[in-house]
Amino acid sequence: MATKCKRKVEIPGASSKLGKPKTTAAAAAELYPNHPRPTPEECRSVRDHLLSLHGFPQEFARYRKNKVIHDSPDPSKPFFGEDGSDETITRKEGVLDGLVRTLLSQNTTDSNSTKAFASLKSSFPTWEDVLAAETKCIQDAIKCGGLAATKASCIKNILSSLLEKRGKICLEYLRGMPVDEIKAELCCFKGIGPKTVACVLMFYLQQDDFPVDTHVFRIGKAIGWVPQGADREKAYHHLNKRIPNELKFDLNCLLITHGKLCQRCTKKGSNNQRRTPHHTCPLFNYG
C-alpha cells in the first residue's frame, strides 16, 4: 500500500561510524523499571481493536504468511486463509534482498523505495553484478528512492564486506543464528541502524522483534506506552521487553497502518479517503 509518509533516515554521514547499539539488551531491562506499560492485556486489546478497524494490512500479508509457516509445528502443511481456502505461500525473500530493500526505504515513500528496488534488480541480475558496477550506475538505478549516492555507497560496502568476510555475497547464514548474534552481524555494516535490523529480523527472518518507526514511536508516546523522555532506541528496547512475542508482528503492522491512516494519530494531513476519522480512533481512551 503506497503512502506519502516518509520514513526517518538512519544512514549516517560519510564521516560517521556505526558501531554496536548504544543500549544493550541487558541494560534495557533497567531502562524504565517504574513504567509497567504496556501490559500484555493492553497489547492484546489494542491489537484486537486495530484489527477490527483496519483488518490485517495487505501490504504485510505475505510476511505474515511466512511468519505463520515459520512458527507452525508442521511447516510442511499449507497455510489456509481466513475463508478456509488453501493459499499459495510466497517464497521467502532472501535476507540480503530484504536488507537492501529496507535500506532503500529509508527517508522515502513506500512507493518510491519499491520502484528503486525493482529498478536495481532489473538493472543488475545478481548481487555480484551490483558489486562489479560503477557506483554511478547503481545511483542511477535507485535514484527514484532518494539519497542515491549515500545508499549506493552503503550497498556496495555491504556486498564487498560480505565477499571479503564470507567468500560469497549472501546473508542466508543468518537464518540459523541467535537473535543477538544476528543483530551484531548486521550492525557491523555502515548505514545499518537498529530499526533496519529490527525490520530484517521481523519481516525477513521471522523473528519476534518489534521495530520502532516514526508511527510506532509517536503513537507509543501518545498512549503512554513509551516514557516521554525516551528516544527511539530506548523505546525500541522498552517495547520489545514489554510486548509479548506472539503479539509483536501483528501489533507492529497494525500500529504502522493506523499511524498512516488515523487523523488523530498523525501530524500530517492527507487526501487519503481511507483515513480514520478522529472520533473513531480506538486508541483515544488509552492515553
Does 195 qualify as catalytic in the annotation? yes
Report the Cα–Cα distance between both ends of the chain, in Å, rounded: 28
Instruction: Read off the C-alpha cell for 128.
Output: 555480484
Whether the CA torsion 121, 191, 204, 159 is positive or negative: it is positive
- Out of 67, 195, 234, 260, the active site residue is 195
Alpha helices in the chain (DSSP H): 25-28, 40-54, 61-71, 95-104, 110-123, 127-132, 135-142, 148-166, 179-186, 194-199, 214-222, 232-242, 245-261
Cross-strand pairs, 79: 87
- Which residue, among 228, 242, 225, 227, has the nearest Cα to 287 in the 3D structure? 225
Distance CA 84, CA 63 (A): 19
Torsion sign, CA atoms 44, 45, 46, 47: positive
Provide the 8-state DSSP code for 80.
Answer: E
What distance lies between CA 79 and its chain's CA centroid? Answer: 23
By the 10 Å C-beta count (0-12 exposed, 13-18 middle, 19+ buried), 125 is classed as: exposed
Of the candidates 173, 167, 244, the one whose C-alpha atom is nearest the C-alpha of residue 209 is 244
Q: What distance in Å separates the CA atoms of residue 21 and residue 31, rounded to the nearest whole number?
A: 14
Active-site residue numbers? 195
